[in-house]
Amino acid sequence: MISVTFPDGASRQFEPGVTGLDIAKNISPSLAKRSVAMTIDGSLSDLASRLDRDAKIEFVSREDPRALELIRHDAAHVLAEAVQELFPGAQVTIGPVIENGFYYDFYRETPFTPDDLPAIEKKMREIVARDEPIVKEVWTREQATAFFHAKGESFKGELIEAIPAGENLNIYKQGHWLDLCRGPHMPSTAKIGGAFKLMKVAGAYWRGDHTKPMLSRIYGTAFARQEDLDAYLHQLEEAERRDHRRLGREMDLFHFQEEGPGAIFWHAKGWTLFQKLVAYMRRRQALHYNEVNTPQVLDRALWETSGHWQTYRENMFLTKTEDERVFALKPMNCPGHVLIFKNGLKSYRDLPVRIAEFGVVHRYEPSGALHGMMRVRAFTQDDAHIFCSEDQIMDEALKINDMILSIYGDFGFSDVVVKLSTRPEKRVGSDEAWDKAEAALQKVLDELARRGLKTSVQPGEGAFYGPKLEYTLRDAIGREWQCGTTQVDFNLPSRFGAFYIGADSEKKTPVMVHRAMFGSLERFTGILVEHYAGHLPLWLSPLQIAVCTITQEADDYALEIASAARKLGLLVELDLRNEKITYKVREHSLAKIPVLLVAGKKEAAERTISIRRLGSQAQTSMALDEALAALIAEATPPDLKPLH
């Protein structure tokens, strides 16, 4: 007999080989009916799994959050079954659960189009209605290979080959259809319920490798309850509403056009916002960094020295002059900064040398990668390079980290993930140097984790010259974007022959720490717009106040307000148009102007002002001087506030 313990601490004895379903039935028929899976010693498992030894088990109902991945995984299988029923010859590959749903990749001569989705979804609902029992079988490798080979499923065949010898091959059957799958699954297709939806089709490379065939991927999502699905779809709509590309147009910040793919046309308001960010960053780093500026176009020879010509050329904009000399637009600022460091003899006493630049870089990104302001071909980095000794790396990296977090905090970002990317296969430099660099960054990462930050490690994802810490933020629809970064580089300084004189009078090669905090000013602006849903805080808003009159009789007073506010440094628009106040309120609200100051006859007589804030219907009336003082205080950038 084996002993099975339940969450409440009670335990019961069963014959070895008893299934979860048997146990549930033994407890109560309703429990058996309600359960779609169980956990065995904490890990999710089929209800039909057999127990051979003592274990702690817990039954999982369909409504349990842990069942969500089962619902989605089962939905992926049903999607595959539906596709193969409707489109004979479509080959199955893999169909995992992902963050907001699931997908299944198929191989098919003609890829699926969005028009195919309704029919597939309809078929899926049929399969769910059939309530096909989902049954696991364990096959031998030969059996599985023969089966999928006979069906012409070459991709599955490849997957089977990749499974280590000696491991069981699990086959999950539902009705006449079956798939090789790790599981677990729910007992039958009806458990999926009706709260699912196919979302989109997309191409995806087999095994994520661009040298391999392109598969046709169908994305879907599924939830336990219809209201959860509805809420999710609603959330997607909301995200679309705060998409920076849409808000950028509505707020008149910038535009793109065909002639400059991946290049931003900044409008006056957008550029004001951009410059506010630059000014903010300048103040933040003024004490520790020396700001410089380096050439936009540099000779090919320089890029050969840096290694960019050999490893980065396909991403570079090249230009040839009349006399056949080849130049490149800089894709990075580092070589320029090394040259500034090299210009003049440096002593160990000078270290660390910190050189900063709001450097505009051009990168010829693949056309398919472009994405609004988040991924462009010309962008501005708040870049800096720190030339220091090896034993200064740790200290510098920690300082950078503190500054990045403090800066993100000023913008209300708390959902920051810091990722350590370690040595890639293709790299330069000695293992000892890598050990030191990674250890330093790992130490920083540990410290961050200790402080409660989300951290992770991405093995092999580092730059060829060194490991890096990547600071990522999320956009409106949950996409993660890398912003800040700290990279440790043992390579470039020596390639350029940069050195300093050590305490022993010997020439030493400095270590170079690359760092950016916003990363790309353009991307950061995009993230900000989405983060605030266009409701920029007063200090960032490129147009802070609209002074609106109710009647022309208030024009003089409104003029006085506007000029007083402008004298105080506030960005003010004066709206004296002969329009109804409701019209003006609507228009300025749509333009996302943070503060509306409304003046009518009453205000003019009393020297007060009616204040209406973006996003609120409320109006408050206040003495003019008082209102301006409050607005000035609010419009002060966070780093200039007394308590910063």
Partner RNA sequence: GCCGGUUUAGCUCAGUCGGUAGAGCAACUGAUUUGUAAUCAGUAGGUCGCGGGUUCGAAUCCUGCAACCGGCACCA
Of 54 and 579, CB closest to RNA: 579
Identify whether 363 is a catalytic site residue.
yes
Q: How far apart are CA 355 and CA 468, in angstroms?
A: 19
Q: CA angle 91-93-96, nearest 5°? A: 140
Name the DSSP class of 318.
E
Identify whether 334 is a catalytic site residue.
yes
Q: How far apart are CA 485 and CA 514, in angstroms?
A: 8
Q: Which of 367, 472, 480 is nearest to 420 (CA)?
A: 472
Identify whether 173 is a catalytic site residue.
no
Half-sphere exposure at residue 283, Cβ-oriented, CA atoms within 13 angstroms: 12
CB of 463 to RNA, least distance (A): 6
Q: Which of 157, 206, 150 is nearest to 180 (CA)?
A: 157
- What's CA 485's distance to the chain center, in Å? 14
Identify whether 228 is a catalytic site residue.
no
CB of 518 to RNA, least distance (A): 8
Of 113 and 343, CB closest to RNA: 113
Q: Write down the catalytic residue from 156, 191, 330, 514.
A: 514
Q: How far apart are CA 235 and CA 533, in angstroms?
A: 13
Q: Write down the catalytic residue from 197, 308, 337, 385.
A: 385
Of 234 and 641, CB closest to RNA: 234
Identify whether 531 is a catalytic site residue.
no
Of 185 and 377, CB closest to RNA: 377
Q: How far apart are CA 90 and CA 111, in angstroms?
A: 10
Identify whether 383 is a catalytic site residue.
yes
CB of 450 to RNA, least distance (A): 24
CB of 555 to RNA, least distance (A): 8
Of 580 and 641, CB closest to RNA: 580
Q: How far apart are CA 642 and CA 346, in angstroms?
A: 38
Cβ 136 vs Cβ 179: under 8 Å:
no
Q: Write down the catalytic residue from 77, 197, 363, 423.
A: 363
Distances (CA, A) of 28 to 25, 47, 153, 532, 546: 5, 15, 43, 51, 68
The H or E element that residue 516 is part of is strand 511-520
CB of 358 to RNA, least distance (A): 14
Of 350 and 365, CB closest to RNA: 365
**Sheet containing 326-329: which strands, arranged edge to edge?**
297-299, 326-329, 318-320
CB of 287 to RNA, least distance (A): 25
Q: Write down the catalytic residue from 74, 116, 334, 575.
A: 334
Q: Which residues are catalytic?
A: 334, 363, 381, 383, 385, 468, 514
